[in-house]
Structure 1
Amino acid sequence: MTMTPEPRLMIYSQDGLGLGHLRRTTLLASAFLAARPGASVLTVSDSPMGQFFSTSPGHDYLKLPSIRKVGPGDWRPVALGMPFADVRELRRKLIRVAAEEFRPDVLLVDHMPHGAMGELVPTLKALPSKVRTVLGLRDIVDAPATVRRRWQVEGAFDALQRYYHDVLVYGCRGVFDVATQYAWPAELGSRVRYCGYVCSPHPSGSPDALRRRYLRGAPESDLVVAMAGGGADGFTLFETLIRAVPALVAERPCRLVVVTGPFLPEAEQKQLRRLARGLPVRLVSTVDNSLNHIRCADLVVSMAGYNTTAEVLRFARRALLVPRKGPSAEQRMRASRFADRGWVRWLPPESLSPEMLAVSMVDALASSKPEVTETPDLDGRDRAVRHLLSPLGDGPRGSALEPLAVNGHQGVGAATTTRSGGRR
């Protein structure tokens, strides 16, 4: 393919109730633009937070009407009072028009090959054959049986077979083998490239200054930082954590910073503030630099969303993960697999209580960092971007392409394998 002077990347991301997908796609967009100054990235997303994360010149957003998944195959509008079928049709047309007018060189689809309830299929059919289509998957989507059933019923497997050149898995095959666990046909499995976990670039600022600020007057105390991503379903964890503080500080001097997230309802924030009165707990909705909050912590207590856990691994912090109960099994699967490798500790959500959480935090703070024989691969951001750039002629300016892992094995040419079969 002839090099495009100003390459264009279009990203589709469905993230109506959270920040995880938006965070990951913003990281990839920024790295793409850093590698190819003058390029353009258009993210088509329904996140209510829009441009919540700072991004780079050359990156813009098209906001779709927000929808949210309330169960397998069950979607509802977040704000509009229209029937879901009408909202879906509006979204479908907006996506297609955006693709036709933006004319991307590469389309990166985040996590849903067919889009929410198949809304992306008309766009995939309409794309010129020269457009390279790539599916980006986080390490774990959901329980294998659920993914197999829903993808079959909703047409995701058919869309993947027909329209996609490659699948980038933002994780490690040894932790979760996507093609095997989700029973992909062999021909689809050959398109999979494991990139490693996608992490943020090194943060600015000093974590030491942040730590001194939070521990002012109690420098010998431990600092516990609690997070739950966007926070929409973080109340149960935060409430239990605050109720656990008296038992925790009876064992060790501690101060806690609870980052509730922008989606935690105001009524629940007020309830947490009432519970925290008189305790060494500081509640904040958002922070300018979440990475430095992770870096300065003696212990991170969080749910088991992709981005937070990836950053915990990157900075090798002690972490206690409490996955959400559902409706997806994704967080439980990630927490248990990471714990099996000694990377984190975890507490099953059905075991969550103030007493159990206090005991688990005391144990985690008292322990030394475990020796691990298998270290996580954290280079997913750069590897994924190198792959996205590979069909554009010269790859990243000033750096050589590194072969990606094809089904977990390094191989020359991995980044240039094309589809066999399909419509194009």
Structure 2
Amino acid sequence: MAVRVFMYAQDNRGLGHVRRCAIVAEALLRRRPDAAVLLATKSPWAPTIAAGERFDVLKLPEHLARGTLSGDERRAESSALHRLRRVLLREAVTHFRPDLILIDNEPLGFRGEMLEALDAAPAGCRFAFGMRDVVDDPERTVEQWANQGVPDALRERFDRIVIYGHPDLFDTLGVYGVPAPVRAKAAYGGYVCARRDDLDAGRFRAELGLDGRPLVLVTGGGGEDALALLVATIEAHALVRSPARLLLVTGPFMRPEDRARVVALAAPAGHVVRDQADVVAAMAASQAVATMGGYNTLAEAMMLGRRPVVVPRATHKREQLMRAEAFAARGLVHCLPPTKVTPALLAAALEDEIERPTAVEAHDYLDVDGERAAALLLETLA
């Protein structure tokens, strides 16, 4: 009997949740060729996903005229679009009639926008929550979830919780105080990443014209808040004794004025600046990696056996810092505290990796190609 899976991924200016959902969707389709997957998300990147003819994307609206609106007008538009997304999600579930609904990262959707969709699910539909290893600051997360009614929903509505992480690296259930009745539904699947059998480091380096020079990859995920890392690495490069060249990946969501600044700073030293790049291929071809603490980049680094230099996001959100510290405790990353990093500290860390590269063994922590997550999800339909 054909299986229909409805996925919801909350991504605005990032790539992580949608990329993870796409990997899991492909795994589900490999295991169940009769399945069909519909992914609903605001991410502008999602429509580019090529996961086969039994996969499609419902692009949810985010902002239509933000740049031309006043503060009150923006708030009114945001409220109107939120109501529209609730209707779209409800109608999609009503007519798609899924056997399984998988919600990523926010159990009830952004500001509860999946609640009506859950109520509209057909009889017998199973609900699953895909939980990232680190959500955010534990106290803040527990308080927010309590205010949103998440604990009751996880206990009463959801059949399965798949944690995209490994308890030996980060004890997600313990850190967030998940109660026993909910823990019974939870299972760790591992850090989701996509296998790559097509990597050719030599060809990648030749395309950049490195002529034997070491390559340092600098990437900040989607790029919306990556400017500080890229600028700091350019400044640090001047202190590195090695004749390394930087590949600076700004990301698709970096503001044009920020990208222009990166290009101007990078030009004198001949560094390469790209909006987007095959980050996994670049990582495989590089001698050192500087990045923030995003989920996907660190999972990909583990897959390649690389130890990146990590400068986590320096905001009120602690997710990246918490992940980087947990990985550093296992020797998987070189973590530099974002509030204390200097060009000299960053240069020393990069030079250490260039001259004495550290290979890490981390495959036990991984869920390559999302196979474990897919198996755990399909168990809910048995």
Q: Same fold (TM over 0.5)?
A: yes
Give the stretch that moved more between structures: 206-215 or 337-346. Answer: 206-215
Structure with greater proportional helix content: 2
1:389 pairs with one of 368, 378, 382: 378
Once residues 391 and 194 of structure 1 are traced to their aligned partners in structure 2, the CA distance between those partners, rounded to angstroms, is 15
For 1:20, the equivalent position in structure 2 comes to 16
Superimposed CA distance per residue, residues 25-44 of structure 1 (whole angstroms, 9 cap, x where no aligned partner): 11111121122224211001
Task: Output the aligned Cα RMSD.
Answer: 2.0
> Could you tell me how far apart the structure 1 residues matched to 2:304 and 2:209 are?
20
* Match in the other structure for 1:417: none
**TM-aligned CA deviation for residue 282 of structure 1:** 0.3
Deviation string, structure 1 residues 171-225 (Cα, Å, up to 9, x no partner): 0112222222111221011111000110112242422210233243x31x21111
Question: Among 47, 53, 56, which residue is 1:57 paired with?
Answer: 53
1:88 aligns with 2:82: yes
Partner deviation per Cα, 1:373-407 (whole Å, 9 max, x = no partner): x76411261001112223455xxxxxxxxxxxxxx
Q: Which of 306, 310, 313 is residue 302 of structure 2 equivalent to?
A: 313
Q: Give the one of 267, 271, 275 matched to 1:277.
A: 267
Which residue is equivalent to 1:102? 96
Query: Which one of 170, 195, 198 corresponds to residue 192 of structure 2?
Result: 198
Query: Which stretch of the first structure deviates more once superposed, 146-155 or 48-57?
Result: 48-57
In 1, Cα distance between the equivalents of 2:315 and 2:53? 37
Q: 1:169 aligns with which of 158, 163, 167?
A: 163
Query: Does residue 125 of structure 2 align to residue 131 of structure 1?
Result: yes
> Which residue, out of 239, 245, 253, partners 1:255?
245
Q: How many residues are aligned here?
A: 373
Q: Secondary structure at the match of 1:201?
A: coil
Kept after mapping to 2: 8 A contact 1:298/1:317: no
CA contact (8 A) 2:98 2:121 kept: no
Give the aligned residue type for 1:111.
N
1:38–1:371 distance in 2 versus 1, CA, 3 Å: closer
Do the aligned partners of 1:7 and 1:392 also contact (CA within 8 Å) in 2? no
Paired letter, 1:247: L
- Alpha-carbon contact 2:162-2:377 (below 8 Å) kept: no
1:42 to 38, 41, 44: 38
- On the 8 A contact 1:41/1:59 being kept in 2, the answer is yes
Give structure 1 stretches of 5+ with no counterpart.
68-76, 394-424
Corresponding position of 2:173: 179
Distance 2:121 2:271 in 1: 52
Q: Is the 8 A contact 1:118 1:155 kept in 2?
A: no
Structure 1 residue 371 displacement after superposition: 6.7
For 1:380-419, list aligned pairs within 5 A: 381-392=370-381
Mean CA deviation greater in 167-176 or 346-355: 346-355
C-alpha separation in 1, matches of 2:357 and 2:115: 50
Match of 1:114 in 2: 108
TM-score (norm 1): 0.83
Instruction: State the SS of the aligned residue for 1:349.
Output: coil
CA distance in 2, matches of 1:193, 1:242: 42
What secondary structure is seen at the aligned counterpart in 1 of 2:239? helix
Indicate if the aligned counterparts of 1:324 and 1:332 stay in contact, CA closer than 8 A.
yes
1:50 counterpart letter in structure 2 = A
| Inter-partner Cα distance in structure 2 for 1:198 and 1:186 | 25
Find the counterpart in structure 2 of residue 236 from structure 1.
228
Q: Which amino acid aligns with 1:58?
A: R
Which amino acid letter does the alignment assign opposite residue 186 of structure 1? Answer: A
Q: Given that residues 172 and 197 in structure 1 are in contact (C-alpha distance below 8 angstroms), is that contact kept between their aligned partners in structure 2?
A: yes
Q: Specify the SS of the correspondent of 2:48.
A: coil
CA contact (8 A) 1:107 1:132 kept: yes
Give identity over the alignment, percent.
34
- The structure 2 residue matched to 1:268, chosen from 255, 258, 265, is 258
